[in-house]
């Protein structure tokens, strides 16, 4: 739709804050002429969802920034931007950082337009209210990723509907960004339904809003709020959340939108170009998976050896290549014989993560007692993996055990870097494992140079990086 091409233009211009454009778009549907019907509203929200799956080609930037920057993965030696991030030699010129910044701000801009315009449409009130709540959830989702990656950010919640409204936004303190995220998620959790059926499966739910709220509170070290919100998810009526008993069922395509799925980047197989291809980036180079494996993202020996022989996850997560090395095999679609035809969704929030969030938050609030709720939560994850229960640990010991369980359970899903930063262990962990360049200022990435160069109000650059 032409309206979204125009919104895309506005998004890129706004985030880079261009001074002046002399040319006008020759053909577009103005916001005033577009937001008229229920179908317009639904189409607008569909566009707000799009950047979730467009964070790099087939969502690969979640893996690059969340895993290749850690002790879990390393890149094939064919991409300078990935190698820079893996070795902590990256600068503000890194194209992956700019791509991520631009993509998520496009989502924010689309969300702002929807939140502003959809309430004016004459349509069923319940659907109208729900669509606005979905937009608020997605705006929070995009800001949550950006604030953890880059720190202070411009907060913009109003619609940019004409080129004359483009400004030079300043970066607001990250504490204020978090306040906006929490406000949006709180609005969303009270309105969104606990589940959907049919073609609506995969949309943001109240459980998704609560789950991300729990994650936000954990990041902010507001442990009581994190524990309470995670518990709400675990007891949410009508959501049907739970752990699959058989580990391979967690990633089986037939179980997409099942009891462990809370929020995914969605892909649909077939010739329509909506399929995924992330498994090809994980697969051995020139492997037949998805047409041809790329070998781009490879697991470290350290992560492979961290799974004990009895851990059921090991056989699900890894496969041995013809070169004798191990590759990630976590998502496989046997029917995908050509590029971009995989049906595998990419999980951005799973029920298992909520359970581990509950365990961690509760442990921070209470001295461990065997079989207390923190133990029960983390042990439910371990039991499903075929591992013995944890017991008789100090608070520090249980904290470390839960962090390790997050690493093993959520491996290759884009969580590791955020967990290491959140717990203050990025530098110590990576230094101990041979990443000699990493420094404390790497707990944030630099603001990409292109928007920073055009908009002087985004300065100063994050500490440690060239100003």
Pair (335, 220) in one structural domain = no
Among 324, 344, 364, the domain-final residue is 344
- Whether residue 173 is predicted with pLDDT greater than 80 in this model: the reply is yes
Kindly state whether residue 31 falls inside one of the protein's structural domains: yes
- Whether residue 45 is predicted with pLDDT greater than 50 in this model: the reply is yes
CB count in 10 Å sphere of residue 220: 15
The pLDDT, as a whole number, for residue 166 is 62
Pair (359, 414) in one structural domain = yes
Q: What whole-number distance in Å separates Cα of residue 418 and Cα of residue 415?
A: 6
CATH code, 401 = 1.25.40.390
- What does the angle CA 415 – CA 417 – CA 422 come to, to the nearest 5 degrees? 95
If residue 16 lies in a helix (H) or strand (E), which one and from where to where?
helix 2-16
Cβ partners under 8 Å of residue 260, min gap 6? 241, 242, 243, 244, 250, 350, 351, 352
- Whether residue 234 is predicted with pLDDT greater than 70 in this model: the reply is yes
Picking from 122-136, 332-346, 347-361, 412-426, which range would have the lowest pLDDT averaged per residue?
A: 332-346
CA nearest to 159, candidates 118, 120, 113, 115: 113
Q: Regarding predicted confidence, which is higher, 455 or 334? A: 455
The pLDDT, as a whole number, for residue 437 is 96
Place of tokens 């709540």: 133
Kindly state whether residue 377 falls inside one of the protein's structural domains: yes
Pair (272, 248) in one structural domain = no
Kindly state whether residue 153 falls inside one of the protein's structural domains: yes
Pair (173, 301) in one structural domain = no
The pLDDT, as a whole number, for residue 328 is 97
Pair (354, 216) in one structural domain = yes
- Residue 46 to residues 16, 43, 50, 181, 460, Cα–Cα distance (Å): 24, 5, 7, 20, 35
The pLDDT, as a whole number, for residue 31 is 61
Pair (308, 398) in one structural domain = no
The pLDDT, as a whole number, for residue 297 is 97
Pair (350, 425) in one structural domain = yes
Q: What whole-number distance in Å separates Cα of residue 218 and Cα of residue 385?
A: 24
Q: Which residue segment(s) compose the domain that 202 sits in?
A: 194-266+346-435
The pLDDT, as a whole number, for residue 165 is 59
Kindly state whether residue 260 falls inside one of the protein's structural domains: yes
- In the chain, the largest separation of any two C-alpha atoms, in whole Å, equals 70
- What does the angle CA 416 – CA 418 – CA 422 come to, to the nearest 5 degrees? 120
CB 290 within 8 A of CB 279: yes
Mean pLDDT of 164-169: 70
The pLDDT, as a whole number, for residue 338 is 80
Q: What whole-number distance in Å separates Cα of residue 160 and Cα of residue 129?
A: 21
Among 321, 344, 367, the domain-final residue is 344
Question: Mean pLDDT, the chain, as a whole number?
Answer: 91
- Whether residue 8 is predicted with pLDDT greater than 50 in this model: the reply is no
Burial of 394 (0-12, 13-18, 19+ CB in 10 A): exposed
Pair (175, 212) in one structural domain = no
Picking from 147-161, 211-225, 420-434, which range would have the lowest pLDDT averaged per residue?
A: 147-161
Pair (426, 363) in one structural domain = yes
CATH code, 7 = 1.25.40.890
Mean pLDDT of 217-231: 98
Kindly state whether residue 286 falls inside one of the protein's structural domains: yes
DSSP conformational letter for 222: -
Helix, strand, or coil here: 446?
coil
Among 151, 170, 192, the domain-final residue is 192
Structural domains of the chain, count:
3
pLDDT band per the 50, 70, 90 thresholds, residue 161: low
User: Token digits for 323?
Assistant: 């070169």
pLDDT band per the 50, 70, 90 thresholds, residue 12: very low
Q: What whole-number distance in Å separates Cα of residue 375 and Cα of residue 387?
A: 13
CA nearest to 20, candidates 234, 167, 151, 231: 167
Pair (174, 286) in one structural domain = no
- Whether residue 307 is predicted with pLDDT greater than 60 in this model: the reply is yes
Pair (245, 273) in one structural domain = no
If residue 189 lies in a helix (H) or strand (E), which one and from where to where?
helix 174-191
- Whether residue 318 is predicted with pLDDT greater than 50 in this model: the reply is yes
Kindly state whether residue 402 falls inside one of the protein's structural domains: yes
Place of tokens 């993560």: 353
Pair (15, 106) in one structural domain = yes
Kindly state whether residue 76 falls inside one of the protein's structural domains: no
Kindly state whether residue 162 falls inside one of the protein's structural domains: yes
């Amino acid at each position: 739709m032409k309206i979204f091409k125009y919104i895309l233009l506005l998004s890129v211009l706004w985030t880079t804050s261009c001074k002046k454009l002399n040319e006008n778009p020759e053909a577009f549907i103005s916001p005033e002429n577009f937001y008229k019907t229920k179908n317009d509203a639904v189409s607008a929200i569909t566009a707000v969802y799009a950047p979730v799956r467009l964070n790099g080609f087939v969502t690969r930037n979640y893996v690059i920034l969340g895993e290749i920057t850690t002790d879990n993965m390393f890149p094939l030696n064919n991409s300078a931007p990935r190698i820079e991030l893996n070795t902590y030699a990256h600068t503000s010129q890194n194209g992956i950082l700019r791509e991520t910044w631009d993509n998520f701000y496009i989502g924010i801009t689309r969300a702002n337009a929807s939140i502003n315009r959809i309430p004016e449409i004459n349509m069923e009130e319940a659907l109208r209210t729900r669509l606005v709540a979905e937009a608020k959830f997605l705006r929070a989702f995009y800001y949550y990723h950006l604030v953890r990656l880059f720190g202070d950010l411009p907060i913009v919640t109003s619609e940019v509907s004409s080129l004359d409204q483009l400004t030079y936004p300043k970066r607001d303190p990250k504490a204020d960004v978090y306040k906006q995220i929490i406000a949006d998620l709180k609005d969303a959790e009270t309105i969104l339904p606990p589940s959907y059926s049919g073609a609506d499966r995969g949309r943001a739910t109240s459980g998704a809003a609560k789950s991300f709220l729990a994650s936000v509170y954990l990041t902010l070290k507001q442990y009581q709020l994190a524990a309470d919100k995670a518990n709400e998810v675990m007891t949410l009526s009508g959501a049907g959340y739970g752990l699959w008993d058989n580990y391979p069922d967690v990633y089986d395509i037939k179980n997409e939108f099942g009891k462990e799925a809370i929020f995914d980047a969605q892909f649909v197989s077939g010739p329509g170009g909506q399929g995924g291809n992330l498994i090809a980036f994980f697969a051995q180079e020139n492997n037949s998976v998805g047409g041809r494996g790329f070998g781009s993202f490879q697991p470290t020996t350290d992560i492979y050896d961290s799974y004990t022989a009895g851990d059921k996850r090991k056989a699900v997560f890894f496969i041995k290549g013809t070169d004798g090395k191990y590759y990630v095999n976590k998502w496989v679609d046997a029917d995908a014989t050509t590029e971009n035809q995989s049906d595998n969704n990419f999980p951005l929030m799973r029920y298992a993560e909520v359970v581990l969030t509950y365990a961690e938050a509760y442990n921070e609030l209470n001295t461990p007692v065997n079989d207390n709720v923190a133990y029960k939560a983390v042990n439910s994850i371990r039991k499903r993996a075929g591992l013995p229960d944890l017991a008789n640990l100090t608070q520090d010991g249980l904290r470390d055990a839960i962090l390790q369980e997050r690493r093993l359970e959520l491996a290759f899903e884009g969580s590791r870097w955020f967990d290491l930063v959140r717990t203050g262990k990025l530098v110590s962990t990576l230094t101990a494992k041979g990443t000699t360049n990493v420094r404390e200022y790497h707990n944030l990435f630099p603001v990409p140079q292109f928007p920073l160069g055009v908009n002087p109000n985004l300065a100063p650059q994050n500490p440690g990086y060239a100003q």
